[in-house]
């Protein structure tokens, strides 16, 4: 099954800034894709397009072979886990515990089921001591851990992570890498940390500063200095 079918995507923000152009890519089930490129090259824009959070101005995109239309939003919500680059875009509940419980409860878990689910993951990500705190009073890394726990605990079919390890300490970073190695679904992430990419991915999309694909390849692309320099990430 094709998880993402993107053809000639172009996205322009309301203030007329180009987000991405000429973007075509198919992602099949169980592929593990990493987007690499310099600041502002369109990674976050693409990830939002892949999650159906925004719609392209031109070109076409299908997610799970479905169109990005209102009738499919609930299906996308149930099956896609999305981590925003900035956790403040995501955290809005009064306490960390409410935040963790929010999506499971929305998806129909009973309170007992939801509490069991969050306890397991909260422990893994070391956030169980933060339950009572309002998310806006957490440190940057703590916010990211809470947002990650919210997304990963549901074990979605498609995991879309925008810079999952930025702002994160070494021990937690290793846990996230371990988690992603074990994860069996389809994964698309962006990062500026090339060193862990080969441990968790099998497809690399290199974006140019001009906001289009520079090169698509396997992890051997990470050794290609010429391309990494052209992408301005080396």
Ligand X SMILES: Nc1ncnc2c1ncn2[C@@H]1O[C@H](COP(=O)(O)OP(=O)(O)OP(=O)(O)O)[C@@H](O)[C@H]1O
For 97, half-sphere exposure in the C-beta direction (CA atoms, 13 angstrom radius) is 10
Candidate ranges 32-40, 65-73, 109-117, 198-206; the one touching ligand X (CB under 6 A): 32-40
Element (H, E) at 216: strand 213-217
Cα angle 61, 105, 118 (rounded to 5 degrees) comes to 100
Position among 39, 70, 170, 225 found at the interface with ligand X (CB under 6 A):
39
Candidate ranges 10-18, 75-83, 110-118, 176-184; the one touching ligand X (CB under 6 A): 10-18
Cα angle 155, 112, 135 (rounded to 5 degrees) comes to 65
**42 touches, from Mg ion, ligand X, none (C-beta below 5 to 8 Å by class):** ligand X
Q: Give SS3 for 227.
A: helix
Q: Which two tokens stand for residue 231?
A: 């992408």
Candidate ranges 77-85, 89-97, 102-110, 139-147; the one touching Mg ion (CB under 5 A): 77-85
Position among 2, 38, 79, 85 found at the interface with Mg ion (CB under 5 A):
85
The answer to whether 45 contacts ligand X (rule: CB under 6 A) is: yes
Q: Residue 182, Cα to own-chain centre: how many angstroms? A: 16
Strands (E) located in 1-148: 2-12, 18-28, 32-36, 58-63, 66-67, 80-83
Candidate ranges 54-62, 83-91, 93-101, 150-158; the one touching Mg ion (CB under 5 A): 83-91
Residues found in the chain: 234
**202 touches, from ligand X, Mg ion, none (C-beta below 5 to 8 Å by class):** none
DSSP state of 125: T
The answer to whether 166 contacts Mg ion (rule: CB under 5 A) is: no
Which residue, 157 or 173, has its beta carbon nearer to ligand X? 173
Q: Give the number of residues in contact with Mg ion, rule: CB under 5 A.
A: 3
**203 touches, from ligand X, Mg ion, none (C-beta below 5 to 8 Å by class):** none
Site residues (CB under 5 A) for Mg ion?
43-44, 85
């Amino acid at each position: 099954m094709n998880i993402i079918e993107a053809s000639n995507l172009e996205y322009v923000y309301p203030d007329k800034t180009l987000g991405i152009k000429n973007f075509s890519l198919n992602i099949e089930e169980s592929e593990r894709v990493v987007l690499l490129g310099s600041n502002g090259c369109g990674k976050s824009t693409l990830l939002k397009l892949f999650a159906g959070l925004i719609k392209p101005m031109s070109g076409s995109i299908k997610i799970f072979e479905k169109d990005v239309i209102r009738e499919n939003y609930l299906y996308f919500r149930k099956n896609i886990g999305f981590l925003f680059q900035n956790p403040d875009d995501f955290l809005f509940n009064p306490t960390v515990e409410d935040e963790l419980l929010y999506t499971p409860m929305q998806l129909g878990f009973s309170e007992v089921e939801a509490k069991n689910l969050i306890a397991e993951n909260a422990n893994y990500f070391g956030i169980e001591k933060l339950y009572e705190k309002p998310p806006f009073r957490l440190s940057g890394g703590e916010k990211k851990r809470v947002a990650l726990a919210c997304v990963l605990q549901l074990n979605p079919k498609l995991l879309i992570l925008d810079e999952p390890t930025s702002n994160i300490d070494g021990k937690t970073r290793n846990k996230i890498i371990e988690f992603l190695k074990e994860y069996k679904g389809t994964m698309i992430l962006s990062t500026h940390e090339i060193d862990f990419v080969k441990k968790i991915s099998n497809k690399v999309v290199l974006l140019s500063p001009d906001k289009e694909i520079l090169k698509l390849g396997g992890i051997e692309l990470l050794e290609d200095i010429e391309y990494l320099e052209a992408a301005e990430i080396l």
